[in-house]
Amino acid sequence: MNRSNKIWTAWLVILAIAAMAATHVAMAAEPAKSLSGTDALAPAPAAATAPAAPGADATAAGTPGEPATDAQAPVAAPDTRALDEEIQSIKKDVVDLNRDLFVLEEELLFPANTQVAVFLSMDVGEFFALDTVELRVDDKQVTKYLYTPREAEALLKGGVQRLYLGNLRVGNHELVALFTGKGPNGQDYSRGAQLKFEKAVGAKYLELKISDRQRKRQPEFEIKDWE
Amino acid sequence: MQNRWNSLFLLAAVLLGAAWTATAADPAYRLLGKTAPDFALRGTSGANFRLSEHRGDVVAVAFWGSRCGTCGAQLGTLSRLVDTYQSAGLAALAVNVDDDQSAAASFAVAHPVSFPVLLDPGKTVARQYRVDNLPMLLLIDRSGAIRYVHRNHRSGSDAQYLEQIRVLLDE
């Protein structure tokens, strides 16, 4: 074997080793990716302190992705109270900051001069089971909301939902609300309500109100302007 | 001698090709670690379901289509896992992305599962979740963050789902 052949052999061996190493790294990449997400999101002692899920046996404790082990737990125990208090304090600060940020964001995105908010409330609901509400402002769809049974139940218990928050310039506008759901005898039911209103300087609040008209045994849909 | 060199060269090329394919075939899922976008969809039962109503539970969201070969197997696996771990806080939602809702309904009848089957004919939710392959399974933790993603269902996937679901349930 001459010198150039030896060099070729050496190169090929290096290439083969590099290829095998790359394959190995690539195969390990997906679990590592998931674990990095786990590490970033889950506090280290969570696995040790959280109650075990029913059916989760001892093998679950040894699964990859759980940073804490039984051997490490007693060592970390003395500092946990102070650490816990610090965590709670930081959590409270984060919640406060988040609230302030939310208020500031709303003030910036929806200034009082152009703000329009539409709320939805339901009363009784014997003749109508709400499924969806579509809102159109000046013939343009601004929101379409699908209600789950729990949300409809919350509305029936007296909840008021802010369905839409947006901006409108000063002047005359038209709001159209389309309601779909189940009617008095369980059949599909669709109705609309319309309101022409004038937007002045200052925030505008409108309420969509669904109530039962007992005399006609039919639901009633109205849009109320909160002056 | 020349034949041996050719075979060695071929072997190296094949190994390199395999390594490149393995690294390039599964690009990182952009939403991994981020909060799962909320959605509400109508189920095959007629009721509506909203993802955010399951906050506090570990949620498995499976995107599937009636023409997908391995979707039925994945839904079956998920159904068994939900049966076992429901009491520990595991919930699942199967989101169908077929244009033809009747095909989805008949598939759902043929593959009964113990969790809601939702319809997304407009693919708005599938787009939100950047679904690029079927089946696609997302595991969402109790705080609402996407923690694991599976873009396929293979023979060893069942054990992987179980392991990852146990990790999330224990948190």
For residue A178, list its beta bridge partners.
A134, A192
Token output for A192: 């609309």
B60–chain A nearest CA distance, Å: 15
Identify the band that residue B79 occupies on the pLDDT scale cut at 50, 70 and 90: very high
Q: Do B16 and A15 touch (CB under 8 A)?
A: yes
Q: Which of A106-120, B20-34, B155-169 has the lowest mean pLDDT?
A: B20-34
Identify the band that residue B13 occupies on the pLDDT scale cut at 50, 70 and 90: low
Identify the band that residue A32 occupies on the pLDDT scale cut at 50, 70 and 90: very low
Q: What is the pLDDT of residue A164?
A: 94
Identify the band that residue A42 occupies on the pLDDT scale cut at 50, 70 and 90: very low
pLDDT digits (tens, 9 = 90+) for B109-144: 888 899 999 999 999 999 999 998 889 999 999 999
Is the CB of B3 inside 8 Å of chain A's CB atoms?
no
Q: What is the pLDDT of residue B141?
A: 94
Q: Do B8 and A9 touch (CB under 8 A)?
A: yes
Q: What is the pLDDT of residue B16?
A: 54
Q: What is the pLDDT of residue A48?
A: 37
| B88, pLDDT greater than 90 | yes
Residues 6+ apart with CB under 8 A from B36: B51, B59, B61, B129, B138, B140, B144, B145, B146
Residues 6+ apart with CB under 8 A from A63: B163, B166, B167
Alpha-carbon Rg for chain B, nearest whole angstrom, is 19
* SS3 state at A154: helix
**DSSP strand pairing (A115-122 vs A204-213):** parallel
Q: Which of A2-6, A24-28, A122-126, B32-36 has the lowest mean pLDDT?
A: A24-28
User: Which has more confidence, A59 or B135?
Assistant: B135
| A60, pLDDT greater than 70 | no
Residues 6+ apart with CB under 8 A from B151: B26, B29, B132, B133, B136
Q: What is the pLDDT of residue A24?
A: 54
Is the CB of A41 inside 8 Å of chain B's CB atoms?
yes
Q: What is the pLDDT of residue B108?
A: 81
Stretch B38-44: mean pLDDT, rounded? Answer: 93
pLDDT digits (tens, 9 = 90+) for A105-124: 888 888 888 899 999 999 87
A147–chain B nearest CA distance, Å: 7
Stretch A167-194: mean pLDDT, rounded? Answer: 90
Using alpha carbons, list the distances in angstroms from residue B47 to A75, A146, A182, A192: 51, 10, 12, 22
CA dist A18 and B134 (Å) reads 33
Stretch A35-45: mean pLDDT, rounded? Answer: 36
| A92, pLDDT greater than 70 | yes
| B23, pLDDT greater than 90 | no
Token output for A180: 């779909």
- Using alpha carbons only, give the angle B88, B89, B91 rounded to the nearest 5 degrees: 130
Q: What is the pLDDT of residue A16?
A: 64
Q: Which chain A residues touch B140 with a CB distance below 8 Å?
A: none
Please classify residue A214 by burial: count the beta carbons closer than 10 Å to its beta carbon, then call 0-12 exposed, 13-18 middle and 19+ buried. exposed
**DSSP strand pairing (B58-64 vs B90-96):** parallel
| A49, pLDDT greater than 80 | no
Q: What is the pLDDT of residue B4?
A: 65
The answer to whether residues B165 and B56 touch, using CB atoms and an 8 Å cutoff, is no
Is the CB of B100 inside 8 Å of chain A's CB atoms?
no
Cα–chain center distance at A165: 17
| A71, pLDDT greater than 50 | no
User: Phi, psi (5° rounding) for residue A221?
Assistant: -120, 125
Cα–chain center distance at A28: 32
Helix, strand and coil in chain A, % to nearest 5: 40, 35, 25
Q: What is the pLDDT of residue A110?
A: 86
Using alpha carbons, list the distances in angstroms from residue A86 to A73, A91, A94, B47: 19, 9, 12, 44
| A211, pLDDT greater than 90 | no
Chain position carrying tokens 């059949």: A187
Using alpha carbons, list the distances in angstroms from residue A109 to A165, A172, B43: 10, 22, 34
B157–chain A nearest CA distance, Å: 12
| A22, pLDDT greater than 80 | no
Please classify residue B120 by burial: count the beta carbons closer than 10 Å to its beta carbon, then call 0-12 exposed, 13-18 middle and 19+ buried. buried
Q: Do A19 and B19 touch (CB under 8 A)?
A: yes
Q: What is the pLDDT of residue A186?
A: 80
* SS3 state at A35: helix
Could you write out the three-class secondary structure of A105-128? HHHHHCCCCCEEEEEEEECCCCCC
* SS3 state at A181: strand
User: Which has more confidence, B50 or B9?
Assistant: B50
The pLDDT > 90 percentage for chain A reads 37
Residues 104-133 of A with CB under 8 A from B: 131
Is the CB of A28 inside 8 Å of chain B's CB atoms?
no
Q: What is the pLDDT of residue A62?
A: 40
Q: What is the pLDDT of residue A187?
A: 86
Q: What is the pLDDT of residue A2?
A: 58
Token output for A154: 């919350």
